[in-house]
Chains A and B, each alone.
Chain A
Amino acid sequence: MIAIIKYNAGNIRSVQNALDRLGVSSVITDDPETIKAAEKVIFPGVGEAGSAMSYLRERELDRVIRELKQPVLGICLGLQLMCASSEEGSTSCLGIFPNKVVRFQGDAIIPHMGWNALEVKGGSLLNGIRSTDDVYFVHSYYAETGAFTTGIGNYITPFSAVLERDNFYATQFHPEKSAGIGERILQNFLAL
């Protein structure tokens, strides 16, 4: 069973729909015991970092997530919350990845919204993915690149599109909305 962490962030349902299409059963939950017992955990989210962190702390889900030993996949805001801190709402985050999350600067269109390519640097999630493959992004903040960056996105500046450290994996893009390429990435996670 895959646990999808429920918190005050939108569009969690689409992750469950993607797993359903792959024939994998999942449960959307904020119950710490269910999350701890799951075979794998997905930490999705579209929303605001500051209020999301407050919500997680109130329920002690911050500690639960940090201490998970099974494969965990953060998606979009999930990736950002797994970093050290976020400029959005000036909040400290879970600190699983040491990267900082900052806002895109400049005159370009913000958010970075649409299909963009990944530069594959290695890791397990992007197994079989080529650097010309496009995935779907929607975000105004990004995690800086660092030692755990296994996929680089490029919009205004290079940023962490994929992070991997021990049992923790994260994508800034939405694999559940990235058609066939996204499905392959989800399958890579499910195969871990």
Chain B
Amino acid sequence: MLKKRIIPCLDIKDGRTVKGINFVDIRDAGDPIELATRYVQEGADELVFLDITATVEKRETLAELVENVARAIDIPFTVGGGIQAIADVRRIIAAGADKISLNSAAIKRPELIREIAGEFGSQCVVVAMDVKCIDGRWKVFVKGGREETEWDAIEWAKKAVSLGAGELLLTSMNNDGTKKGFALDITQAICKAVNVPVIASGGAGSKEDFEKLFQETDATGGLAASIFHYNELPIPELKSYLKTKNIPIR
């Protein structure tokens, strides 16, 4: 049986791992290679690196980091943050990433999804969407959650998949940083709307939150950052708990 994936996310700024709380106030959480290696040893199923520096002069640093990560770890990993054009994708894939994730750039120019899927295959293209519930409607936000778009979350999910997105990474801004659990309703609504894997992100605070995610939605993975970084919830403990709840886990 296909296993549910536990995915630690490493937010990278200037080559270091950081974690924002509600997308602001950044704390330093350490050396990304060291942290990534620890996660692999602990049984992480996949890793996501999001570069939140994302300025032109720092891009080369990112490629170097990706090369080092690729040398160090033996599980798949996704790299995102600041990808604007297919040239950025080529550089990151050449450095050894398995997938790239697009966010603002895909909203700005949806055709970019099709171009990348055409060159590297859909399995390589993750579309990350930051969503927020406003007056009962889930809207897509860009630029690290600072800017609201016209897109309804479900409409955008369908559009992204129709253009070739192979996976969606859904972050609920309402839940992110709260540790009160994933946004189950919008996660399941998106799962129902598309036929590609959906990774839920934002709000994980306990092992029960992951249990609910996998029991109440069809999400294929759960992503979290700070609870793993600061060892509040060790991955081995989380995975053995989920196994006792009969959730398929590696």
Q: Which A positions have Cβ atoms within 8 angstroms of B?
A: 10-11, 13-14, 17-18, 20-21, 46-48, 107-117, 134, 136, 138-140, 154-155, 174, 176-180, 182-183
| Interface flag for B93 (CB, 8 Å) | yes
Rounded to whole angstroms, the CA-CA distance of A17 and B136 in the bound complex is 48
Q: Which residues of B contact A154 (CB under 8 A)?
A: 1
Q: Which residues of B contact A17 (CB under 8 A)?
A: 70-71, 96
B96 touching A138, Cβ below 8 Å:
no
Q: Which residues of A contact B123 (CB under 8 A)?
A: 46, 111, 113, 138-140
- B contacts with A, residue count (CB < 8 A): 30
Q: Which residues of A contact B236 (CB under 8 A)?
A: none
A10 touching B195, Cβ below 8 Å:
no
Distance (whole angstroms) from the CB of A52 to the closest CB of chain B: 11
Q: Which residue of A lies closest to B196 (CB)?
A: A109
6 new A-B contacts, CB < 8 A, other than A10-B121, A47-B120, A174-B76, are: A108-B195, A111-B123, A115-B5, A134-B3, A139-B123, A177-B98
State which of B46, B98, B220 has its C-beta within 8 Å of the C-beta of A109: B220
Q: Which residue of A lies closest to B94 (CB)?
A: A13
28 A–B pairs (Cβ distance < 8 Å), ordered by A: A10-B120, A10-B124, A11-B93, A11-B98, A13-B70, A13-B96, A17-B70, A17-B96, A18-B74, A46-B124, A47-B120, A47-B121, A108-B195, A109-B195, A109-B220, A110-B196, A111-B122, A111-B166, A112-B2, A113-B197, A114-B3, A114-B45, A138-B123, A174-B76, A177-B74, A177-B75, A178-B74, A179-B74
Q: Which residue of B lies closest to A134 (CB)?
A: B250
B2 touching A136, Cβ below 8 Å:
no
Q: Which residues of B contact A11 (CB under 8 A)?
A: 93, 96, 98
B98 touching A14, Cβ below 8 Å:
yes
A14 touching B96, Cβ below 8 Å:
yes
Q: Which residues of B contact A134 (CB under 8 A)?
A: 3, 250
Distance (whole angstroms) from the CB of A15 to the closest CB of chain B: 10
A113 touching B3, Cβ below 8 Å:
no
Q: Which residues of B contact A177 (CB under 8 A)?
A: 74-76, 98
| Interface flag for B242 (CB, 8 Å) | no
A10 touching B93, Cβ below 8 Å:
yes
State which of A110, A111, A136 has its C-beta within 8 Å of the C-beta of B76: A136
Rounded to whole angstroms, the CA-CA distance of A13 and B3 in the bound complex is 26
Distance (whole angstroms) from the CB of B169 to the closest CB of chain A: 13
| Interface flag for B184 (CB, 8 Å) | no
Distance (whole angstroms) from the CB of B44 to the closest CB of chain A: 9
A183 touching B74, Cβ below 8 Å:
yes
Q: Which residues of B contact A107 (CB under 8 A)?
A: 195
Rounded to whole angstroms, the CA-CA distance of A95 and B13 in the bound complex is 49
